[in-house]
Amino acid sequence: MNYPNGHKRTIPASPSQNKGNHIFSNRGMTLEEDINVTNQYYLDLDKAVIHKKPTPVQIVNVHYPRRSAAVITEAYFKQASTTDYNGLYRGKYVDFEAKETKNKTSFPLANIHEHQIKHMESIVHHHGICFLIIRFTVHNETYYMPAEALFAHWYNKSKGGRKSIPYETVKDCSYLIPFHYHARVDYLSIIDRLYF
């Protein structure tokens, strides 16, 4: 279904399609789409102002096949991006990265870059709320991992340790994010528990 703003919305499947402890209603949606829907819901309720950061791109070449159409044919990233999302919630600065993995048994640390870790460390140093959202698509589970837990695994890797975080470890050092119809990735419920 297309809405007037041009965004395509998908209606989740009925609860009867759930099997066991897994919720299959948001299959087909990417983590980014789910977070964007959640952030819009938070904004509509005036609960939080959190947006996806634009990626800084330098346009080099544009092709104009018609007067009314322009196609970017060449562009490059101006600089390495930091994290995916930032904003404000209850007077606190919120900054986070979101990653999906199809891996069943672990989260590969290759999905995170050193400049992102440095940025996240700076946010934590200045008392902002910083975290990583990880979705294991095979398990259809989404987790909130505090930045401090991520740092421990990152620096262990840089000292020759594991290059991934085992799935069971993610479960132990993170918080399962509840799925709701409107707030598909309700990370504010975790922030409320941890900070408020």
Sequence-distant (6+) residues with CB within 8 A of 85 are 35, 39, 50, 51, 52, 53, 94, 95, 96, 97, 98
Phi, psi of 145 (to 5 degrees): -110, 115
Q: Which residues pair with 175 in a beta bridge?
A: 144
Cβ proximity of 57 and 77 under 8 Å: yes
The answer to whether the annotation marks 148 as part of a ligand binding site is no
* Angle formed at CA 178 by CA 8 and CA 108, multiple of 5 degrees: 85
What secondary structure, in 3-state letters, does 161-190 show?
CCCEEEHHHHHHHCEECCCCCCCCCCHHHH
The answer to whether the annotation marks 97 as part of a ligand binding site is yes
The whole-angstrom separation of Cα 140 and Cα 161 is 27
The answer to whether the annotation marks 82 as part of a ligand binding site is yes
The CA–CA distances, whole Å, from 49 to 81, 88, 112 equal: 20, 5, 25
- Which amino acids are annotated as binding site for Mg(2+), given as ranges? 82, 84, 97, 116
- Which amino acids are annotated as binding site, given as ranges? 82, 84, 97, 116
